[in-house]
Amino acid sequence: MSGLGDIAVAVEITTGNVTPLLHEVRHALQRLLDTGEPTVIDLHSLPLAPGELAALENELGEGEVSATLNALGPSLLRETAVPGVWFVTHRNANEEITGQYLEIVKIPAILEAQEVDIRLGIAALSENLEQTKAQDHRDTQDGST
Amino acid sequence: MARLETVGEALARQGVSRRAFLKFCAATTSLMALPPSMIPRVAAALEAARRPSVIWLSFQECTGCTESLTRSDSPTVEGLIFDVISLDYHHTLLAAAGEAAELDRKQAMEENWGNYLVVVDGSIPLGNPGYSTIAGISNVDMLQETVEGAAAVVAVGTCAAFGGIPHADPNPTGAVGVGEIVKDKPIINVSGCPPIPVAITGVLAQYLTFGQLPEMDELGRPKAFFGQSIHDRCYRRPFYDNGQFAESFDDEGARAGWCLFKLGCKGPITYNACATVKWNSGTSFPIEAGHPCLGCAEPNFWDKGGFYQPLSEVEWGGWTQLGTAAAAGAAIGAASALAARSKQKKAREEEA
């Protein structure tokens, strides 16, 4: 026996919360379509029995898009088989889960490049280009002497 | 007061990108038990918030509360909250000790007079002052001196909130909680033995974000974490409602994951977020591991009779009354939980 997973105990408990959650997702999708308003459901705020989260994931299935974000630890943003429904799991650097959400949105906002970071990127790129230009200038001068 | 940098500045200084900041805000919003729709408001408020100075006092305690919060060695959100506050004094964590450490405390008080937070873990002995001292100063003197210029006090753990285990009968040191001594400052009790780390950081995050303490229950605890009973949010609640109980720790009911009420579970009268937030990075909580809730977030939990006796037998009236209600279905089950809360309140009033 190599771990707890090998112990032959199977307990099936349900809170009955998975089906209402799926109804909530359906309403949120309709709202997204009608008004463009996104919805985020914090899965840690709901009582779910062991195995129900996996059941929810199974129910929603696997979609076409999956993205990994590396910021303060890895985050996995995975579109489900229901377009517009994203399973988002944030982890810290120790890979411990810090948040789990269902996002009903065309694309999770955190995936978009952020303006502040774009500005910093422009500054960094400009500095690199200045350094390259200065180096080229020095190389040209060295070559001409 | 010294100009304290903003949370946004502190995180930027640590090289945290905007995406990482948004991730941090998502976790912080969840910490405060706010809906995810609040994330943009939390982000805006956090970015501009000034880092508060925090003075942490440890009195008659086992260090479990500090361990609960700091044992992780990775940059967790709780850790980040700790990084963005200015923890100016924590005598357990400080390298310095004695008078050198006390100078830090006094300097932090002077520089942030009227604005700093005092966090207390451990109870305060009112018997012989020599029972517990730091740098020759009795706990009660240090507490009274430190809270004088504080904006608010956060009592972390059941010992600081209600006296806890040192207060248990026969209470040899005359231990009391912070609220028995401090009467003129806002006090927020984050009880638990130990408290859930996110409940501690959730309170700090709320103060960081909105500059105010969260809404509290009648025992001075943040409603976001203590507003509902363990029983209300327990995934085994359907078994309680159906009258399906484990009768012993190895019977068929226990193996099937049925309700632990008859094995002494104090979930119906215990208000905490264990059932949803869980422990060890959301892995599980005592009931999920097959053990009844001990009620550690409640006052005098140590003196309420046996941990493994049904709560109705030890403190809250006849077993028959609650047991019958428990077996009778959802409606009566919910009513019995309400009755338990009412009885609990009455018992507290009688104790007081």
Give the B-side interface with A, CB within 8 Å: 16-20, 22-24, 26-27, 30, 33, 35-37, 39, 72-77, 80, 233-239, 255-257, 275-277, 281-282, 284, 288
Determine the Cα–Cα distance for residues B334 and B234; give it in Å rounded to an integer: 13
Nearest CA in chain B to A10: B256
Least trusted range by pLDDT, from B12-21, B71-80, B119-128: B71-80
Does B75 sit within 8 Å of A71, measured CB to CB?
Answer: no
User: Is the model's pLDDT at B281 over the cut of 60?
Assistant: yes
Chain A hits for B237, CB-CB cut-off 8 Å, are 15, 47
Q: Do A96 and B76 make contact, defined as CB atoms within 8 angstroms?
A: yes
CA distances (Å), origin A59, targets A120, A134, B261, B318: 41, 58, 32, 44
Of B35, B76, B276, the CB nearest to A44: B276
Choose the final residue of a domain: B224, B239, B270. Answer: B224
Domain extent at residue B257: 230-351
Of the partner residues B26, B256, B257, the one whose CB lies closest to the CB of residue A99: B26
- Residue A42: which H helix or E strand, with range? strand A39-42
Residue B98 lies in a domain: yes
Both B149 and B240 in a single domain?
no
> Does the residue B198 lie in any domain?
yes
Which of B3-7, B43-47, B286-290 has the largest mean confidence? Answer: B286-290
| Angle (nearest 5°) at CA B301 between B64 and B339 | 135
Place of tokens 């405060």: B32
B182 lies in the same domain as B242:
no
Indicate if ipTM > 0.95: no
- Tell me which of B164, B196, B224 is where a domain ends: B224
Q: What is the CA radius of gyration of chain B?
A: 21
**Is residue A1 a part of any domain in this protein?**
no
The band of A25, judged by pLDDT with boundaries at 50, 70 and 90, is: very high
Nearest CA in chain A to B35: A42
Cross-chain Cβ contact A117/B238 below 8 Å:
no
Q: Which residues of B25-36 are buried (b: 16+ CB within 10 A; e: fewer)?
A: bbbbbbbbbbeb
Are A84 and A140 found together in one domain?
Answer: no
Cα B195 from Cα B297, distance rounded (Å): 8
Q: Identify whether residues A49 and A91 lie together within a single domain.
A: yes
> Which pair of tokens denotes residue A91?
């982890």
Q: Contact at 8 Å (CB) between A41 and A102?
A: yes
Does residue A75 sit in the same domain as residue A131?
no
A72 interfaces chain B, CB cutoff of 8 Å: yes
Residue A22 maps to a domain: yes
Predicted confidence (pLDDT) per residue in B285-330, tens digit = 999 999 999 999 999 999 888 889 887 776 544 343 444 444 433 3
Contact B137, B102 (CB under 8 A): yes
| List of chain B residues whose C-beta atoms are within 8 Å of the C-beta of residue A16 | 238
Tokens coding B36: 């995810």
Task: Provide the pLDDT confidence category of residue B334 given band limits of 50, 70 and 90.
Answer: very low
For B125, list phi and psi in degrees, rounded to 5. -80, 130
Among B184, B200, B224, where does a domain finish? B224
